[in-house]
A = this chain, B = another copy of it.
Amino acid sequence: MDAIDLNIIELLRGNARLSYAELARQVGLSAPAVHERVGKLESSGVIRAYRAEIEPESIGLGVTALIEIIEESAADTDDVLEAFRAIPEIESCYFMAGVESFLLKARVGTIGELEALIVRLNRTPGVASTRTGIALSTKWENRPQPVGTPPA
């Protein structure tokens, strides 16, 4: 992980469809060299995936909600997690410090679907209660920040 790798990462975070030739020009290496570096970044897990970012409304997912989950004290966190993983509407899942164990970001098409989702979550074994906030609008999301210093 040197400065050139960070440079490549930053370029691919901005545009994942850049060609190797273009990357090579921008970082000052040959295309095969960049190709090999990217391959290593992928197989070492630094680059997890390449994703197209889609305007959610256009694919019928106009409602964004953030849902905090409070577990029952006797709950098995792994089981709860597996139950959440099986729910496709849950786009992101964070395990939090504090009273609420999980914060979920979910996207659905309608308020009705959100209601069904919340009911389903509350019925999930291990879930004591939920608290839902609705995002009226997403100002921005997953904006890449300039890469800082990698860990020592």
A96 part of interface (Cβ distance < 8 Å): yes
A112 part of interface (Cβ distance < 8 Å): no
Q: A85 → chain B, closest Cβ, in Å?
A: 7
A135 (CB) vs chain B CBs: closest residue: B94
**Provided the pairs A133-B96, A142-B92, A145-B107 are in contact, do residues A52 and B16 lie with their beta carbons within 8 angstroms?**
yes
A35 part of interface (Cβ distance < 8 Å): no
Give residues in A with beta carbon < 8 Å to B: 1, 6, 9, 12-17, 45-55, 57-62, 64, 66, 81, 84-85, 88-98, 100, 102-103, 107, 109, 133-151
CB of B52 within 8 A of CB of A13, answer yes
Inside 8 A of A54's CB, which chain B residues have their CB? 9, 13, 46-48
Inside 8 A of A50's CB, which chain B residues have their CB? 15-17, 50-53
Q: A31 → chain B, closest Cβ, in Å?
A: 15
A81 (CB) vs chain B CBs: closest residue: B139
CB of B107 within 8 A of CB of A94, answer no
How many angstroms from the CA of A109 to the CA of B150 in the assembled complex?
A: 9
Which one of B14, B17, B94, B134 lies within 8 Å of A16 (CB-CB)?
B17
A109 (CB) vs chain B CBs: closest residue: B148
What are 13 residue pairs bridging A and B, where the CB atoms are less than 8 Å apart in the complex?
A: A9-B59, A14-B49, A15-B51, A16-B51, A47-B54, A50-B51, A50-B52, A51-B53, A59-B148, A90-B143, A91-B141, A91-B142, A97-B136
Inside 8 A of A64's CB, which chain B residues have their CB? 94
